[in-house]
Structure 1
Amino acid sequence: MQNDVTREPAILMQQEGGIHRLTLNRPQRLNALTRAMLSELSDRLADIAADATARVLVITGAGRAFSAGQDLTDAGAIEDGRACRNTVERYYNPVIRQIHSLDLPVIAGVNGIAAGAGVSLALACDMVVAAESAAFDIAFARIGLIPDAGGTHQLQRLLGPARAKAAAMLGEKIAAPAAEQLGLIYRAVPDQELAATVDALAARLANAPTKALALMKQAFHAGDHHSLEQQLALEAELQSQAADTEDFAEGVAAFLAKRAPGFKGI
């Protein structure tokens, strides 16, 4: 009997007008993550990174969940310390690094529950938009593990140390509207508006000066560990790169002519 990964790709990929969409596609398992699924996701991210026409990426889930996190039935994935380390280092960490290093904005469209590593995956994206019925379940403590796949980094950066440690240690489940209020995500919207909201954001970003957005992303990531002096120096360097692009010249020309700019992106 074939499993779900064999019957249909675990990651669905769509592309239209510079907008790429990756859909986690194990809805019968609430898009729980396996090593095979993470490898497939990594391959698709590499494809997008190599595509000069890509301008924005949307990551979402099929069915009623974004991702329930690590699939505990993925035999050998987390059975002991050695297996856990291998799974995190070989499968999760590359995906998080790829999302961070993509030279384009990444939107997470959280359509339902995000739990465990599913939270880490969503928070690795540049913008998180969630349905109001969705929730972020920081469930690691309930099975005796710590947040991984960048989870401790993202939670502390977004919530602050006190709130992040409490949420992780207590295994909190944060409803999407509360997540927006806490600054964990960008927006929580009515369920029926999620798809349209994400599509509108993606279209807006696809028509933006993509090179400048990529440089912004680089600067924000560096700001996590830079001193003020280091960040000022980096901003000067990245600004010089932005000012050498055709999009900068087009933006200034459009502003002076009082017309909409036609950015070309990367």
Structure 2
Amino acid sequence: MSAPLLVDRAEGVVTVTMNRPDSLNSLDVALKVALRETFEELAADPACRAVVLAGAGRAFCVGQDLREHMATMGDKAPLDTVEKHYNPMALALAELPKPVVAAVRGPAAGAGAGLAFLCDLRIGGPSTSYLMAFARVGLAADTAVSWTLPRFVGAAKAAELLLLAEPVKAEEAHRLGLLTRLADDDEQVLPMAQELAARLAAGPTVAYGQIKRELLHGATGTLADALLIELAAQQLSGGTADHRESTDAFVNKRKPAFEGR
């Protein structure tokens, strides 16, 4: 039996691939647990300086494994997976203090779209599409979609996408900001994502983590809250070797060599 998740490393970039291609990488319990555990491990791994999240086969991820879900329909709490699995997985991804690039090849539906939206950057191709599929199966949104989607497209468009549950194809997704870059060919999606991650892996990792923290809280708090978070972030990043190195490089007109610390 294949592992539900594949992890490959190359010079600071860790590629995490959801590996259930026969079910379009639908999320069963094993895959949800593996994703959460892997995100937590990478957060604490100094050798990891950027992450690529991808899906095996012809889909990124189509959300909940409905076959597994049907088996729990008779339970008193059939959706306790939201509390047990989806919420911890979403937090682990959102709070991962390294840049995360999603290689969104093929469809990303429901919680699969939620995973992509929690990444920092998203690369797509001609086959890429998003579908807020929750209402199609009589459910509300999860995997932080109610939080991420309005931040990308605004409240009115988020309501349209969630209530009507109509697919968003690649060019429209790019226009809306749901894709950072759009490749001309599906075969370019993963290499483009890995190339971008490699660029980030060569940068100031601690500062990137603090920028992510600022963005995570900045849009939802008060100005005073944002200023306090920025203060703490600058104090932390200002004490890093990378800050000292980049300042010296600027003064001496050379290219900085970041070490991620």
- Normalising by the residue count of structure 1, what TM-score does the alignment of the two structures yield? 0.93
Match of residue 197, structure 2, among 199, 202, 209: 202
Amino acid at match of 2:211: M
1:15 deviates by: 1.0
Instruction: Show the 5 A alignment for 1:97-116.
Output: 97-116=91-110
In structure 1, the gaps of 5 or more residues are 1-6
Q: What residue number does 1:91 align with?
A: 85
Match of residue 215, structure 2, among 198, 217, 220: 220
Name the SS of the counterpart of 1:73 in structure 2.
helix
Aligned length: 260
Q: What percentage of aligned pairs have identical amino acids?
A: 37
Instruction: Tell which deviates more after alignment, 36-45 or 52-61.
Output: 36-45
CA distance in 1, matches of 2:91, 2:259: 26
Q: Root-mean-square deviation (CA), in Å?
A: 1.5
- Pair 251,81 (structure 1): closer, same or farther in 2 beyond 3 Å: farther
Instruction: Tell which deviates more after alignment, 150-159 or 44-53.
Output: 44-53
Name the SS of the counterpart of 1:178 in structure 2.
helix
The 8 Å contact of residues 72 and 78 in structure 1, kept in 2 or not, is answered as no
CA distance in 1, matches of 2:64, 2:88: 15
Segments ≥4 residues shifted beyond 6 Å: none
- 1:243 paired with 2:238, answer yes
- Normalising by the residue count of structure 2, what TM-score does the alignment of the two structures yield? 0.95
Instruction: Show the 5 A alignment for 1:97-246.
Output: 97-190=91-184, 191-246=186-241
1:150 deviates by: 0.4
Match of residue 258, structure 1, among 245, 249, 253: 253
Name the SS of the counterpart of 2:179 in structure 1.
coil
The 8 Å contact of residues 152 and 177 in structure 2, kept in 1 or not, is answered as yes
Superimposed CA distance per residue, residues 2-61 of structure 1 (whole angstroms, 9 cap, x where no aligned partner): xxxxx1101001112111111000101111110111112222222212312110111100
- 1:45 paired with 2:39, answer yes
- Pair 178,101 (structure 1): closer, same or farther in 2 beyond 3 Å: same
The 8 Å contact of residues 78 and 87 in structure 1, kept in 2 or not, is answered as no
- Pair 99,132 (structure 1): closer, same or farther in 2 beyond 3 Å: same
Amino acid at match of 1:218: R
CA distance in 2, matches of 1:102, 1:211: 11
- Pair 82,132 (structure 1): closer, same or farther in 2 beyond 3 Å: farther
CA distance in 1, matches of 2:238, 2:4: 41
Name the SS of the counterpart of 2:17 in structure 1.
strand
Instruction: Tell which deviates more after alignment, 240-249 or 77-86.
Output: 77-86
Q: What residue number does 2:58 align with?
A: 64
- Pair 254,135 (structure 1): closer, same or farther in 2 beyond 3 Å: same
1:76 deviates by: 5.6
1:75 deviates by: 4.6
CA distance in 2, matches of 1:80, 1:90: 18
In structure 2, the gaps of 5 or more residues are none
Superimposed CA distance per residue, residues 70-121 of structure 1 (whole angstroms, 9 cap, x where no aligned partner): 0100156662685343111101111110011111111111011101111001
- 1:34 paired with 2:20, answer no
CA distance in 1, matches of 2:69, 2:224: 48
Amino acid at match of 1:41: L
